[in-house]
Amino acid sequence: MNNLDSYDPSGVGQVNGNLFGLPFDYDSARTIVFGVPWEVTVSYNPGTAAAPQQILDASPQLDLYDFDNPQGWQGGIYMPPIDLDILAKNNYYRQQAALIIDRLEQGKSLDLEPDLNPVLAEINQAGKDINQWLYDRTQAAMKAGKKVGVIGGDHSVPLGYMQALADRYPDYGILHVDAHSDLRDAYEGFEFSHASIMFNALKISQISKLVQVGIRDVSKVEIDTIERSNGRAIAYYDSLLKQQMYSGKTWLSICQEAIAHLPQQVYISFDADGLDPKLCPSTGTPVPGGLELEQAFCLCREVIRSGREIIGFDVCEVGNAEWDGNVGARIVYKLINLMNLQNAK
């Protein structure tokens, strides 16, 4: 597939089944991006399981010149075919999870007739299986010398990749862009809930720091978790960020302060609902407020400008709509180009 001699990066984007229409395959690409169509535990708007396909479909519309890494595409990007077996399992378990969510929202016990506890156990096992699936594939890609990105699905998706990174890096941090802290313990009974991804991440001892930016829809128990973490988790709440900016503090200085908390190796976990909802209105749990796209890019750019290394990323909670896919594709492309800047220098 790799035929760079005849490829025109300024030409019409090719619809060839690969991200951004690029002429690379698994072997020739430096960066592998796994799409994981999984949103079993989504508790508000469904549709994020379609995000990998929406982002793939929108991606050839992007121009490839990136101001941070103008030749970044030449390193090669490849997205393996979306696993339709995972999508089928998602659709099945999503229906089962909806029964549990509906029961809980009515204030009723799962022990009522019919008993839904076996269903909950089955869903939790399916979550473990997805984690293992992603762990195996990201581990294999890294062993082959690849950089790796992940597209969800809901925000439960990247845990297996985080676990694979922990086998490679004895100390790394997470830069987390989100409207939510995602620090709930087994939200709604789901061990691998989208609202529990950072709670589960903090079980990984190699993750020494979690820096969250844009948080604006948060529970008391999550705030307590942050305050009891002895500085391991640090939150930049959206309302307080805005108040600082209204008082004259620059966004760049806020970004530099946030990044200064992180260790040398940094993983970026980017939830689309961290942005202003006008940018991804079909996200699973939209919240008013949030970041502009260039604000988020400025934050991620400061990881590199500070001398740190981006070791991986995920982009999750992009909605099932063409506009959301377009924005999601731009986030994926920017994070790939920033991640590969170390190789470009």
Residue 178: inside a domain, yes or no?
A: yes
Residues 172 and 165: beta-carbon distance below 8 Å: yes
Q: Is there a domain that residue 12 lies in?
A: no
pLDDT computed for residue 1 by the predictor = 58
What is the domain range of residue 235? Answer: 27-344
- Angle between helical axes of 322-339 and 293-305 (0-180°, round to 10): 10
CA-based nearest residue to 183, from 110, 134, 232: 232
Q: What is the pLDDT, as a whole number, of residue 2? A: 61
Instruction: Please give the tally of structural domains in the chain.
Output: 1
Q: Burial code of 240-270, b = ≥16 C-beta within 10 A, e = fewer?
A: ebeebeeeeeebeebbeebbebbeebbbbbb
Position 112 scores a pLDDT of: 85
In a domain, 205, yes or no: yes
Residue 258, SS3 per DSSP: helix
Answer yes or no: is 7 within a domain: no
The residue whose two tokens read 């619809």 is: 15
For residue 115, how many other CB atoms are within 10 A of its CB? 11
In the chain, which residues have pLDDT < 70? 1-3, 343-345
At residue 113, the pLDDT reads 79
Render pLDDT for 28-74 as a digit per residue (tens, 0 to 9).
999 999 999 999 999 888 999 999 999 999 999 999 999 999 999 99
Residue 246 belongs to some domain of the structure: yes
- Whether 132 maps to a domain, the answer reads yes
Does residue 70 form part of some domain?
A: yes
Q: Residue 206 has what pLDDT? A: 98
Per-residue pLDDT tens for 110-127? 988 789 999 999 999 999
pTM above 0.95, yes or no: yes
Helices and strands (H and E) in the chain: how many: 11, 8
CATH of the domain at 63: 3.40.800.10
22 found inside a domain: no
